[in-house]
Amino acid sequence: MNGVLLVDKPSGPTSHDVVASVRRILREKRCGHTGTLDPFATGLLMLCLGRATRLARFLSGADKTYTATIHFGYATDTYDRTGKPMGETTDHEPDPDSLARILEGFVGPQMQQPPAFSAKKLGGKRSYQLARQGESVSPKPVEVHIRSLELLALEGCRAHVELTVSSGTYIRSFAHDVGEKLGCGAHLSELRRTRVASFSVSEAISIETLGSKGVLEAFLSPSDALRELPRVRVGAEAAKRLAHGHAPRWEELLAPDARVGSARFVRVFGPLDELLAVGAPDVDQGIVRPVVVWAGAPIE
């Protein structure tokens, strides 16, 4: 199976556990996810299978949408419900207007402090490994972007929000930071990933049904998995050269998407509308540099 499988991850297993289950059920050794979810979280995992693992880099950087529940009253060392409380475990009901103003201030680009219990590397070790050993760790802040943020409901000490964020954003850190701004402490109690780029969790399949039915309904071809990328098409001669790593010239592109000139990556199709490669447009040089060559040379 060479493509991308959309899986609705349940709460409990790690993302690696889900990958291992898919490998076993589908008997496909080459399998990897394009963006991890914490064990307690649920929702959309995009898994690249077979030769499509080469395409993971073009999917891992996509924006992601989540629904999250923030519990106000106390923080935890992991910034979520699985951690140890930092202080008295009390509940706090925030003022709705104050909360709305604080949430509005989080929209846009910002520097975010990753949790100590994260996979960030510090001196060659994972941050969470050092934190579990009792060491005081502080991963370097990273630039993230919260594209949109909506308060769905406020029920006592719990706020339900929906947010779309850039890749690498920690929703746990966001929840912790909101609590800091309110001065009451907070942690993430629920998290569900509902969308990756234009792919919805409603298109995904559960692990329970993976081994019985419905796999093809949640399985994407490499071309469909990369549908966010603009497309170009080349003729037979350019396709033959591309199969050997030669970059198509700008004048060889047939009816290119209008977004090609400003795109970081594009899908390159052959004369039979088959996916040949993923390329990087170089407007100055007038070529599309092949990054991953997917298909071989056309058959005569």
pLDDT at 134: 67
- Look at residue 1 in the predicted model and tell me its pLDDT: 78
The answer to whether residue 107 is domain-embedded is: yes
Please, which residues have CB within 8 angstroms of residue 86's CB and are 6 or more apart in sequence? 74, 75, 76, 77, 185
**Over residues 181-207, mean pLDDT:** 95
For residues 68-83, give the mean pLDDT.
95
Phi/psi at 80 (5° precision): -140, -175
pLDDT of 213 over the 90 cut: no
* 95 shares a domain with 68: yes
- pTM for the model stands at 0.89
Pairwise CA distance, residues 15 & 46, whole Å = 10
Q: What is the pLDDT of residues 3-43, one digit of tens each?
A: 999 999 999 999 999 999 999 988 889 999 998 899 999 99
Q: Examine the domain organization and report whether 154 and 235 are in the same domain.
A: no
For residues 223 and 267, the answer to whether their CB atoms sit within 8 Å is yes
Structure token pair of residue 11: 């709460």
Does 273 participate in catalysis according to the annotation? Answer: no
* Counted domains in the chain: 3
Residue 300 inside a domain? The answer is: no
Q: The tokens of 238 are what?
A: 């350019």
The yes-or-no verdict on residue 231 having pLDDT over 70 is yes
Report the CATH number that the domain containing residue 35 is assigned in CATH. Answer: 3.30.2350.10
Q: Is residue 271 domain-resident?
A: yes
Confidence of residue 270 (pLDDT cuts 50, 70, 90): very high
Pair (50, 77) in one structural domain: no
Residue 212 domain boundaries: 3-62+198-225
Q: Name beta bridge partners: 281.
A: 288
Please indicate, yes or no, whether residues 107 and 138 belong to a single structural domain of this protein.
yes
Residues 235 and 221 in one domain: no
Give the mean model confidence (pLDDT) for residues 146-172: 97
User: CA 227 to CA 244: how far, in whole Å?
Assistant: 24
- 38, 77, 80, 282: the catalytic one is 38
Q: How far is CA 200 from the centre of its chain?
A: 12
Domain contains 298: no
pLDDT of residue 286: 92
Same domain, yes or no: 154 and 105: yes
**36-62 mean pLDDT:** 93
Indicate whether 80 and 139 sit together in one domain: yes
Q: Are residues 85 and 151 in the same domain?
A: yes
Does one domain contain both 78 and 121? Answer: yes
* Chosen domain end from 178, 196, 214: 196
**Is 98 a domain residue?**
yes
> Which pLDDT score, from 0 to 100, does residue 275 have?
93
Compute the mean pLDDT over every residue in the chain, rounded to the nearest whole number: 89
Give the pLDDT band (50/70/90) at residue 299.
Answer: very low
Mean of the pLDDT values across residues 103-131?
77
More confident residue, 192 or 131: 192
Same domain, 168 and 107: yes
pLDDT of residue 300: 39
Residues 169 and 78 in one domain: yes
